Every structure is written in C-alpha cells, then in structure tokens.
Amino acid sequence: MKTLLKGKSVVSSLLAGVLLFSISSIGGVEAATLKGNEEVISAGLGIGNSKLNLIQDSPVSVAAVSDSEQRVIVTFKDKKKVNKSLIQKGRIKREGKHAPSLTVTMPSNEVEKLKSDPNVASVEPDIQLQAAGQIADWGVTATQATYGWNNGYTGKGVKVAVLDTGISLNHEDLVVEGGTSFVDYTTSYNDDSGHGTHVAGIIGAKNNDIGTIGMAPDASLYAVKVLDSHGTGYLSDVIAGIDWAVEHKMDIVNLSMTTSVDSQALHNAVDNAYNSGLLVVAAAGNAGTSDGSGDTIQFPAKYSSVISVGAVDQNKQRAVSSSTGSKLEIVAPGVGINSTYINNGYMTKSGTSMAAAFVSGELAQLKQQSPTSTASLLRIALDQHIIDLGSGGRDTTFGYGLLNVSSSIVNNFNNLPNPTVTSSVYNSVYANMLVNSAGLGPSVTRQYVDYTDGAHWVVRDETQYWPNLQNAKSISYVRNDSNGREEYIVLYSNNTVVRQYVDYTDGAHWVVRDETQYWPNLQNAKSISYSRNDSNGREQYIVLYSNNTVKRQYVDYTNGAHWVISDETQYWPNLQNAKSISYVRNDSNGREQYIVLYNNNTVVRQYVDWSIGNWVVKDETQYWPNLQNVNSISYARNDQDGREQYTVARLDVNPVFNSINYNSQVVYKSVSGNVITLTGTISDWNNDNVTVSASIAGVTKSTIVSNTSSPQTWMLQWNVLSDNIPAGSYSNILITANDGLWGTGSTMYTSAITVDNIPNIPGSLTPGNQSASTPTLVAGITPVLNWSFSDPDAGDTQSAYDVQIYNSAGTTLISDSGWITSSSTSYTIPSNILTRGTTYGWRVAVRDNKGGTSAFSTIYYLKPNRIPTLTLTSYTDGQQVSDNVLTFAWTYADVDGQTQTNYRVQGSKDNWASVGYDSGVLSGSSATHTTSAIPDGTWNFRVTAYDGMEWSAVATRSNLNIPNAYEPNNTNAQAFAINYNTMYTSAISSATDVDFFKYTAPTTGIDRVTFTMPADKNFDIYIYDSNMNFIVAGVTSGVGVAENIIFPVTAGAVYYVKIIGANGDFSPTTPYTLKVSKYTLNYNTGYQYDANGNIIGKQTNSN
C-alpha cells in the first residue's frame, strides 16, 4: 500500500475534445487558446473568406478537406449489412466493426447522392475532435480514495482503456499494459502530446513512492491513441478505438474528448460498448456558463450509456466552465490537478477531463471489489458513493453529487450529511418490495418472558414494525435502555442497510434511514448485528461474511474520533454452517455475548464467565421461538428489567436470473433437432431449490435447480412434435423462478423462436419415370427438369433447391447442383453431363423461406434420345433427270425404336441462299415424296425425318439437272402451276408460241409479278382471274424492259399469267424469267417546318 507523502499530489484527468467541422466552404468550429481559467471555443460561419472568430489567431487550425473531396462516415439502415456497392466513387478507409458504417473519402457531389439513397441512415462529416483545454492534489484526499486502498481495493485486475493522445511508455510512474494506435501517421501508442499521460496518471499512477499516485494504482492501463499530437482526432478513429476496447474486453473506457455534435455513429459505438458490459466515462465538457445555467453537456457524455462527469474545485464549488445539464451524473475534482506528463515529468491541469479520470479510477476500485457485477450495477454503486452537493438529490449542477470513495467503506460523521432517507428515495428503492402478512411472506417473531402476571413466555408477530422485508438477508433488533427506543435494522440482498425507529422528539413518527455507509464492506455479507452501549454511546456494526469471518466496526473516541475495523472471528463460537449471528453487550456487567444460529436450527451462546475466568458455550435453542425456516436471529437484553428478547426472522431473498441465452432459434417439425431450448443461469442467496418455468403455446415446462448459492445452469426444452407446438413465431416468453417460499423472479426471452413445418417432398417431377427399366426419353442432352413446391405452412415459399443426377442404378452421384437460391421450380441440366442413349436418375430437394429443408424426392429416370438416321435411295448426285416432277425415296432407322412421325423435303437452285422448293413439314411414316413441277435448272435437295422428339441429320442430293417441262402450256387449260417466290425460266420459241402459268393466292392482298425478257426482244404479259377475265397487263413498246405488275388478289382464288411475243417477236435460245410474290406497300411522310416549329408542308412517298 502506498501512503501519501508530504507534498505528494493525487490527481485525476478527463480530456474533453471539441468537435471541428472541416468543410472549408461553410466555415468551422475551432478549439481556441486558454483565456484565464477557462477554455474558449471560437466559432465561425462564413461565406468565402469571411469568418467570425470569438478568439483570434487560434493555434489549433481546422483540419480542412478540399472542395472536391470530403471525408465522411456513412451509416446504413440495415443493422447487419454494409452495402459497399453504393460507394461508386471514393476510397473506403475503414469499415465499422460493431455498427453498419463505412469511413469514406469521396467527391462532394457523391455525398449528396448517398444522403438520398433509401438504404442509408446518415452521411455525416468525419469530424475532428480535440482534447479539452486546460483550465486554471488534493483530489485523492477529497474523494477519500485511501479508504479503498486500506480495504485492499486498488483496481488490481481491472482493465482501463484510455482513449486519448496515447500514454508515455517510459514514464517512471506509469506501467502501460498494451494498446494500439488509430491515427494515420504512427502505429505507436506512445504519447506525443501529454494530455493522455496526464489522464492516465490520475487513473492509475503507480504506488512507488515517487511522483504521484492514481485513484487505482494497480489498475491495468491500456493506451488507445485516437488523438494526434495536437489533441485532435477523427470521429472514425475514436469509434475504432471504442470498438477495440470492446473486442479486447476492457472493463472501463475513459473518453477524454467532447463534441457539440450528436453523431449517430458515435452514439451507436458507446451504446454497443455499454451493452457489451463496459463502463464508459466521459467529460461533461468545459462549455458551461458562468452562472451554470442552460444545458451545456457535450457529447458523448450526453448519451445515456455514458457516465457524464463534471468538475469541482477545492471548495466543492462547480468549476467555472464545467458543463451543466440534466444528463450530468457525478462530479469530481477538476481544478489544479497534478499528474504525470510526457518526458517523465509532471504537470498541473484543470478541466472536466481531469474529473472524469477520478471517476474511472473509482470504478476500477468498485470493479475489483465486485468483479462479477454488471456495468449497470457498478454504475448504481458509483452513484451511491457520493456526497450530495447543491439541492437534494440529482441536480443539473452536481449530478448525484461529489465522488466519495469512503461512502462504500466507512463513514466520516463530520463530513457526511444526515443519512435520513426521504420518502421519495425510499419508495424509489423499495417500492417494488411487497409487505406480506406472516406465513405468506417474510415475517418476524419476538419471544420473551413476561413477568407482569407471573412469568410466562410471550410470542408475538412483529412484522408490522419492521421496514419492508422483501429481499432482506438479515435483521438486527436493539432497544436503548436510556430512552426506550426500539430500532429495527435490515440488511437487503443488494447489500444496503436500512434502520427504522419511532422518533418521539416532534410527535411520534416513523423514521427510515439508509445506513449502509456506517457498516463495514457488505459485499458477501451473510448476517449483521447492531449493538449500542448506553454507557458510552458507542455503536458497533458487526458483519458475518460468507467465508465465516466476522468484522466489527466502531468509532474510537479515545484518541480523536476515528473508525476502527477489526477481525473478531476468534471471539465467536465455531462459525462453520452458521446462518446468523447476534452480538450484545450488557452495560451492567460489561459481558459480551456471541450468539450463533446454525443451519441445523440450533442456537449457541458464547461468553466469558469472569467468575471462573473462562469461556462458556451453551446451547440455548430452547429459549427461542420455533426456528423452522428461520434465516436470521437477534438477541436483546434490557439491563433495567433484565428482560431477554429473542427475535427470529423468516426471510427469503428472491432468486436471480444471472444470465439467459438470447440466441434466436429456428426449429423444424418432422426432422431431427426439433427441440426449442431456453437456458441460462440462476442463483438464490438462501441456497433454496429453485423451480424455473416457462410456457410456449400453452405448454409449460419446469425444472428444479439445486445448489443455488452460486449461479447454476437451468434448461427448459420443448419437443415441437411430442409437445404439439404449432408452427409460428414466438417471442417475449416469460420465464419465472420460485424458490418454494415466497421468493420469485422473472425474466423475458426476447429473441425470436420460429417453429417451421419443413416443405413437402417436391412433387410432379417431369420428365422421368420411377423405374430405371423404362426411362422417359428426353430430347437433347440439356433437358429442363420440373417439379412442384408445396408447404404445410400457408405463405411459405421456395427459397432454394438442390438437384442431383445419378447413374442408371441410382447409386452413384454424377452431378450435384448444390443449393441454388431461387424460387424457380425448374432446372436445366448443363451440357457436359448427359450422354445420348444412357439412362440417368434425378431427384430434387427444396428449402422454404424460413430455412426448412425437405427430404429429397424419389429418383426419376430419363434417357436422352438418340437421333434417327435417314438414307436417300433415289437419284444420284449430278444426275440429269427426265422430268420436272421428282419422286424421292429413303430408308428410316431409329435405335430407340421410335417410328417416323414427320418428314420434309426442300430444294434450292442457289446453293441454299434461298429455298426454291419446300414441301413443308408433312405428317406420317411415308418413305417417299413426289414434288410438284420443278422449274428447270440445277437443283440441290435435302430430306430429313422426325422421330417425335428430334429431327434426323439431313440426307442430300446435289446438282440434279431439271429439264424445261412446261410445254405444252399454250392455253389456260394447259397452264403450268407455279409457286410463290420461285424464279421460273422459259422461252417464246416461235411467233405463234404462247405460255400460260397459274397459281393459287394463299392470302388476300396485293401480288406482284416480276418479269424480265431478252435484251433484244419485246414480250407482253397479261393477268387473268379464274374465269379468264382480264385484270391487268404489262405492255411496252420497248425491248428488254423489265416489268413489275401489281394487282389485288383474293385468298384461295386462281390466277393466270399469259406471256406472248409482241408483234410476233420470239427467241428460242434466250429465256425470260418469271416470279410471283406478295407486295407490301410502304408509305413515308415527310414534314416541313418554319423557324417557329409550325408545319408548312408535307410530302408522302410510297414504294
């Protein structure tokens, strides 16, 4: 233990940082130099170079970002996903680890686009924060930290992360356990400013008889460098530092910076730290007004998850610039604080930075004292360790009051205020503790001998005279002989002590006082006993601990009033298996009596009998009321009448849920693992057997937990099948605990439990057959597989599928698609898997939108079709045929046994640039086909057959020479039938030769006949209907002129074309050409406009 030497100062520090806006086109906020004992902030709002400065020439410049780029923090609405794809332009510097955010440098115009994106919650400048300025060591004395040290609480084993400018790594008064740096220019966490070292010294300067000493000299200090050598740092670096503290399981985070801007990203970071079990301490800020008016608390101290600390001076007055407001939680020394500094030196500084460090140090003591307590419980304890300043209770100037370590260890009567608990405070603490009558809840019974009407025992229920006994652990009763005052004292499970008595000085009325501060440390206290000696007024506070040791505390007035704490275990009977103790001292003879109640419900009294000069131990169970289920006893003796009073209490502390597993669960019916599990730990101070129960869908499960004096695991399980839990979603499940007496507890399972019917096995599988011996033939090697999805749960949809391909025996897996996320109920087999003529099996499983997975379907078998073959048996390539009507014959074969269902014959005169003859797709198994008359010329032909699934490869005949076989066609009765879009060639062989052609119009519309003649000849062309009525003619006086004759036709009507030499013209060697086709008339209209856009003319053209 390090003692304070003369001239040695004990200090605390908290750095308050000032937010810097850094967009140069808008202006900024700058941290200013000191002015007297306060930090002055200069603010500017300007256009161009105009800026209003409260303090000129600030030595700390704004960290500017160019007009073209900004450094921003983007926070996304989806709490589990960061969408980096939205950052189209820019550089991502860092991704938030515990919040959905990105730190990005990007063009200014992109910032505005992001702000309007529906996936983005906020886009905020990555502002710079600056260390709080210094204003202006006695601090340790004022907070009475030595009381913690004297009781062994020095912060040992507690990890404190100091987020600041770093900590000096070579200072003789500091030991840095580790750390990290998030600033851009160095990976070292060594302090290059001094501020972080000053803060660290206040928290944990070592007890080494040099320099100074911190509040928690044995705490483990970690340097998290988030501010640079000027005391400024980016918001994203601070957030990264907080995340680091969470990941590295720090106990306390000291934030020595402030900002006036409410940042959602920073808010998320400190909330996550607090929810992760860390205590977060921050400076309230140095922005207070001179009269303390207004709400001037800065961020992050203003967030409810952060302990906000203000500063006071040596006179316990608010530091002139300390921020005020409703969020202020506590104050601590913050003016003229001496602490460690860089270059192995020391420095005196002022500000809320220093005050916050004192609080972090005290929290380290509390954490060591109660390492298993939650952050919220330690925070409550901190707020109780105060000296109330200002108006009663929490106020905007001092919060709950001035930090005072001794209030948790011992009390200084001269410095502490009257501890009477007001009714409002009492109700706020104990309002939920119900008072029950005897037998239905906690009760107190007193037994004594009444001598007024012959000696006889009197047993009375005195529960009504006691404070609320709900969650009470121990009682002590005493009666003052001098004034007859009866005092009723109760120790509660939260280790607080309340005294209740009737005050007769101003009319009889009950007084209830919280007297925890007068007792020794009550952590792990099992039983208490209070005694007051009337002869000297000495009050004695005696505690039995769980480790069966006893401590007594009292004020010794023999050498100046001071507290004395002594271990008095040696004076007591054997304390093994002791439940309760009671101590009394008789003023008449000075005899001290030590009385113990054991677990087996026996009572032993021990005292010194001076007549024999020896200890006497007596079993006095017979004098006590029924001790069944008694937890606490208190013995009192009135010296005036010798009446001995035996008081027993049946108390019961509520069982406590220490933890619960809040993992969300999805449980599927009809599959293994179909069990809902709720689990956690529970404890009961009385070591009662605790029944834990909960109900889901009306089905209640219970389990009994034993040995509950320490946390024990409990588990409740529901089998969704045998317990018939319907499919659906369940949350906010009430879990209750009952210790068999009247102690109860409850907690809530707030996560989601989804009970899901798995999807039905997929049905309607096509193509395929369940027998491998009769597989379904499929066309090609990439068939499309289909199935149907169904689910017992209405509204469930398919979210994924898995298709597997097997060999013909269904035993060897050939291909597995894996789980494909899709609602489609079809799958196309890739081209590299199947072989024609081979049998394969396939099956499919599906998954619903809740994650439930079906079993695989039955295997269905298929076989890719083998293409049929066709061989032409008529004609040979290059053959000169004698007729223009051809008959093709072929042989058809199919190894799969499929018959020919269709065939097609096609011909071309231009090497398949166009098709001159097409039979179309004809049905049937015929192996011959006769064409219509074919125009003369050299032709290529091809024939293909269809097996009902696929077409065969083509069989061909090339270069068949077709003769001119149109003649005789001199009359319409002899007209040669022609087809659309086929070029026909013939000749007018004599002066009397006439050629007739005919065709049937397939559709109504306009037909065109294109006609060319020899270059030196003049032929005429005429068009007639089926009755040889003249329609139109193409008659010219020129020679070699091409004709295009257009005329209307009716579907199904026959039309004749007549060609004759003009004036007997003919040419037996030079042919003419003829082709009939459909004519489409297209119109194009052009408009003319004047300078004003008005139409002044139009022209329509057609083809």
Contacts 24+ apart (CB under 8 A), 931-934: 931/885, 931/886, 931/887, 931/888, 931/905, 931/907, 932/885, 932/977, 932/979, 933/884, 933/885, 933/965, 933/966, 933/976, 933/977, 934/884, 934/885, 934/886, 934/907, 934/962
- Pair 683, 655: CB distance under 8 Å: yes
| Count of other CB atoms within 10 angstroms of residue 433 | 16
Catalytic residue among 195, 198, 267, 929: 195
| 171 given a catalytic annotation | no
Q: Write phi, then psi, for 60 (nearest 5 degrees).
A: -105, 115
- Pair 649, 626: CB distance under 8 Å: no
CA 478: distance to chain centroid?
A: 56
User: Which residues have CB under 8 Å from 613's CB, separation 6+?
Assistant: none
Show the tokens assigned to 84.
């980096």
576: amino acid identity, one letter = Q
Show the tokens assigned to 166.
């770093």
C-alpha 263/C-alpha 606 separation (Å) is 65
Catalytic residue among 220, 353, 531, 799: 353
Q: DSSP of 385-415, one letter per residue?
A: SEE--SSSSSBTTTBT-EE-GGGGT---TTT
Show the tokens assigned to 847.
């998954």
> What value, to the nearest 5°, has the Cα angle with vertex 530 and ends 527 and 533?
155
C-alpha 306/C-alpha 453 separation (Å) is 65
Residue 675 burial (C-beta neighbours within 10 Å; 0-12, 13-18, 19+) = middle
C-alpha 307/C-alpha 276 separation (Å) is 15
The residue written with tokens 């003789």 in the block is 172
| 391 given a catalytic annotation | no
Range 79-102 burial, b when 16+ CB lie within 10 A, else e: eeebeeebbeebeebbebebbbbb
Cis peptide before 125 (omega within 30 of 0): no
Is 1063 strand, coil or helix? helix
C-alpha 165/C-alpha 194 separation (Å) is 7
| Count of other CB atoms within 10 angstroms of residue 916 | 21
Catalytic residue among 126, 137, 164, 1020: 164
Is 931 strand, coil or helix? coil
The dihedral region occupied by 901, where left means phi > 0, alpha psi between -120 and 50, and beta the remainder, is alpha
C-alpha 475/C-alpha 446 separation (Å) is 12
448: amino acid identity, one letter = Y
Show the tokens assigned to 165.
């400018």
Radius of gyration of the chain (CA): 51
C-alpha 96/C-alpha 46 separation (Å) is 33
Q: Which sign does the torsion angle of CA 309, 315, 317, 318 carry? A: negative
Is 955 strand, coil or helix? strand
The residue written with tokens 């992109």 in the block is 110
- Give Cα separations from 560 to 375, 417, 477 (angstroms): 39, 20, 29
| 195 given a catalytic annotation | yes
Q: Residue 743 pairs with which residues in a beta bridge?
A: none
3-state helix, strand, coil in the chain (%, to 5): 10, 40, 50
Q: Which sign does the torsion angle of CA 180, 183, 184, 185 carry? A: negative
Parallel, antiparallel or unpaired: strands 902-908 and 887-893: unpaired
C-alpha 421/C-alpha 499 separation (Å) is 10
- Pair 801, 822: CB distance under 8 Å: yes
C-alpha 463/C-alpha 493 separation (Å) is 18
| Count of other CB atoms within 10 angstroms of residue 1042 | 11
Q: Which residues form the catalytic set?
A: 164, 195, 353
